[in-house]
Amino acid sequence: MTDDEFENFLRHAARDYNEPPATPHDAMWARIETARREKSSSAPLHIASPRRWLMLGSAIAAMLLVGIAIGYVWRGTTDSRLVAERPGGAADSAQPLHVAAESGQPGIPDSGTSSRESAPRTPGEQRLAAVPPDTRVDARDLSGSARRPVPNAAGVAAGNQSAAYATLTAEHLGRVEMLLTSYRAESERGEVDPQITSWAGDLLGTTRLLLDSPGASDARMRKLLGDLEIVLTQITQLGAEQGTKKDELQLIDQSLRSHDVMTRIRGVTPAGAGALPIGT
Amino acid sequence: MYDAHVDRVYRLAYRLAGSDDLAQDFTQDTFIRAFERLKEFRGDASFATWLHSIAVSVSLNGLRKVKRLRTREAGLEDADAHEWKQRRAEPDLRIRLAQAIDALPPGYRTVFVMHDVEGFTHEEIAGALGLQPGTSKAQLSRARARLRTALADFRGEWTA
Alpha carbon of A47: minimum distance to chain B alpha carbons (Å): 14
Torsion angle (degrees, nearest 10) of CA A144, A150, A152, A153: 160
The rounded distance, in Å, linking the Cα atoms of A180 and A196 is 9
Q: What's the pTM value of the predicted model, to 2 decimals?
A: 0.44
Q: What is the 3-state secondary structure (H, E, C) of chain A?
A: CCHHHHHHHHHHHHCCCCCCCCCCHHHHHHHHHHHHHHHHHHCCCCCCCHHHHHHHHHHHHHHHHHHHHHHHHHHHHHHHHHHHHCCCCCHHHHHHHHHHHHHCCCCCCCCCCCHHHHCCCCHHHHHHHHCCHHHHHHHHHHHCHHHCHHHHHHHHHHHHHHHHHHHHHHHHHHHHHHHHHHHHHHHHCCCCCHHHHHHHHHHHHHHHHHHHCCCCCCHHHHHHHHHHHHHHHHHHHHHHCCCCCHHHHHHHHHHHHHCCHHHHHHHHCCCCCCCCCCCC
> Which one of B31, B39, B154 makes the best mutation probe of the A interface by having the most chain A beta carbons within 10 Å?
B31
In this structure, the answer to whether residues B59 and B115 fall within a common structural domain is no
**Closest alpha carbon within chain B to A30:** B28
Per-residue DSSP letters for B55-102? Answer: HHHHHHHHHHHHHHHHHHHS-HHHHHHHHHHHHHH---HHHHHHHHHH
- What's the domain range around B8? 1-73
Tell me which of B73, B105, B134 is where a domain ends. B73
In this structure, the answer to whether residues B147 and B100 fall within a common structural domain is yes
Instruction: Provide the CATH number for the domain around residue B67.
Output: 1.10.1740.10
Q: Which of A3, A16, A32 sits opposite B28 (nearest CB)?
A: A32
pLDDT at A152: 59
In this structure, the answer to whether residues B80 and B143 fall within a common structural domain is yes
Run means of pLDDT, 10 residues per run, chain A, 280 residues: 76 87 93 86 61 79 86 73 54 42 43 45 50 45 45 62 79 83 78 79 83 78 84 78 67 80 78 46
In this structure, the answer to whether residues B94 and B30 fall within a common structural domain is no
Residue with more model confidence, B156 or B45: B45
Q: Which of B7, B101, B113 sits opposite A23 (nearest CB)?
A: B7
The rounded distance, in Å, linking the Cα atoms of B3 and B49 is 16
* CB-count burial class (<10 Å; 0-12, 13-18, 19+) for B129: buried
pLDDT at B11: 95
Which residues of B are less than 8 Å from A7 in CB distance? Answer: 116, 144
Instruction: Provide the CATH number for the domain around residue B124.
Output: 1.10.10.10
The rounded distance, in Å, linking the Cα atoms of A140 and A149 is 11
pLDDT surpasses 90 at B140: yes
In this structure, the answer to whether residues B33 and B60 fall within a common structural domain is yes
In this structure, the answer to whether residues B79 and B51 fall within a common structural domain is no
The rounded distance, in Å, linking the Cα atoms of A256 and A266 is 13
Q: Which of A9, A20, A21 sits opposite B158 (nearest CB)?
A: A9
Q: Which of A6, A17, A25 sits opposite B98 (nearest CB)?
A: A17
pLDDT tier for residue B157 given thresholds of 50, 70 and 90: low
The rounded distance, in Å, linking the Cα atoms of A96 and B69 is 94
Q: Do B144 and A28 touch (CB under 8 A)?
A: no
B156 falls within a domain: no
pLDDT at A104: 43
Which residues of B are less than 8 Å from A3 in CB distance? Answer: 144
In this structure, the answer to whether residues B22 and B43 fall within a common structural domain is yes
Residues 84-113 of B with CB under 8 A from A: 93-94, 97-98, 101, 112-113
How many structural domains comprise chain B? 2
**Closest alpha carbon within chain A to B147:** A10
The rounded distance, in Å, linking the Cα atoms of A185 and A178 is 11
pLDDT at B60: 92
Q: Do A17 and B23 touch (CB under 8 A)?
A: no
DSSP state of B43: S
In this structure, the answer to whether residues B126 and B84 fall within a common structural domain is yes
**What single letter denotes the amino acid at residue A280?**
T
In this structure, the answer to whether residues B67 and B22 fall within a common structural domain is yes
Alpha carbon of A191: minimum distance to chain B alpha carbons (Å): 21
Tell me which of B73, B94, B120 is where a domain ends. B73
Q: Do B158 and A14 touch (CB under 8 A)?
A: no
**Closest alpha carbon within chain B to A10:** B116
In this structure, the answer to whether residues B85 and B66 fall within a common structural domain is no
Residue B53 host element (H or E): helix B47-73
Instruction: Give residue A47's region: left, alpha or beta (phi > 0; psi -120 to 50).
Output: beta
Q: Which of B18, B24, B101 sits opposite A28 (nearest CB)?
A: B24
**Closest alpha carbon within chain A to B30:** A32
pLDDT at B61: 93
Per-residue pLDDT tens for B14-62?
999 999 999 999 999 999 999 888 887 877 778 899 999 999 999 999 9
> Which one of A16, A19, A28 makes the best mutation probe of the B interface by having the most chain B beta carbons within 10 Å?
A28
Per-residue pLDDT tens for B84-138?
444 443 457 888 889 999 999 999 999 999 999 999 999 999 999 999 999 999 9
Alpha carbon of A48: minimum distance to chain B alpha carbons (Å): 11
Alpha carbon of B14: minimum distance to chain A alpha carbons (Å): 6
Tell me which of B55, B73, B91 is where a domain ends. B73
Q: Do A31 and B158 touch (CB under 8 A)?
A: no
Alpha carbon of A35: minimum distance to chain B alpha carbons (Å): 8
